[in-house]
Amino acid sequence: MDNSIHPQSEHKAALGASMYVPTTHKDLLAIANGDKFSHLRSVIFCTEDAIAERDLSYALFNLSLALQNMSEASDTLRFVRVRNVDVLSRVLAMPGVDKLAGFVLPKSTRHNFASYFEQVRHTHHLLMPTLETAEVFDDEEMKLFRRTLAAPEVRARILALRIGGNDLLALLGLRRPTTGTIYQTPLGQVIGRLVTIFKPHGFELSAPVFEHLTQDDWLAAEVAQDMAHGMIAKTAIHPDQVPQIERHYQVAQSDIELALRIIDPDSPAVFRMQESMCEVATHSSWAQRVIEQARLFGIRHADGAILPLHLNPLTSDEGTARP
């Protein structure tokens, strides 16, 4: 096994809409190889809440067959959400486990994280701890967990933190409504605090799943609110949700024009554009993020056309960074 560490920057923004797939799925191998749902940027094979206890043995057997037979290389980032420390140990012992990009850790806290990390310390696997326990409601506890994750040997392995919306609502005796977004529940404030606790310290967060499959307008509204919180990744539970979510990650032409002007070294420190004040010192980090987002998801032009960043006339060699 190659024990080198995957660089985070290569993967963190590329997660997009991560589709959860139970490890009992009959097409597990086809999905892993991209023969089915080839549009997936990332997929998470779940051994936890999606699997009943009575089905766990078969789920792990099915996963082991898929790992042995899946292709070495893939355009899709492949992860396994483990059920507990024991299941992580069992998956790590499976032939082919090195084909995985990493693991999603359930119900992660500063108290149980070390038991997971010690098992992957000498592998290449990246980790996505899931914030979905009562500790999430305690800001001080989250800051202590951040300190655990910020240790140098750990920090390099944390791809993102996933927010477990359904588990957090369950702790409150609630379920998300069919009309509305998660930001209209008590979790709206919680998500905002998680962003301010973790994101300034370089930790990316992935937004919670939207579980209602026919409420497209509310899904669109929620993704817009995710993005307003700086989250360009979200859990999906159905393949139809993936393009619906990632459509919103395409950058508007007006935004890429603004971002390019902000990073232009010839731009003044403060200028007016698109009827807004732009300040290079404070808006440069936003601009860099928008340009990276456009590189990954494309640019949405006013006529509805979607172009990759390198084909956009504003960013090609013949173009100019100024609108």
Residues annotated in a binding site: 78, 140, 167
Contact 241, 223 (CB under 8 A): no
**Which segments are annotated as binding site for Mg(2+)?**
140, 167
Tokens describing residue 21: 């797939």
Nearest CA-CA partner of 249 in 234, 238, 270, 271 = 234
Query: Using alpha carbons only, how large is the chain's radius of gyration in Å?
Result: 20
Cα angle for residues 6, 44, 293 (degrees, 5° grid): 60
Cα separation, 59 vs 54, in Å, equals 10
Per DSSP, the chain holds a count of helices (H) and strands (E) of 13, 13
Cα separation, 310 vs 308, in Å, equals 6
**Which segments are annotated as binding site for substrate?**
78, 140
Q: What's the number of CA atoms in the CB half-sphere (13 Å) around residue 261?
A: 19
Contact 24, 70 (CB under 8 A): no
Q: Which residues is 205 bridged to in the sheet?
A: 161
Q: Which residues is 17 bridged to in the sheet?
A: 234
Contact 185, 211 (CB under 8 A): no
Cα separation, 42 vs 11, in Å, equals 10
Q: How many CB atoms lie within 10 A of CB 310?
A: 10
Backbone dihedral angles phi then psi of residue 78, each to the nearest 5 degrees: -115, 125
Q: Which residues is 158 bridged to in the sheet?
A: 127
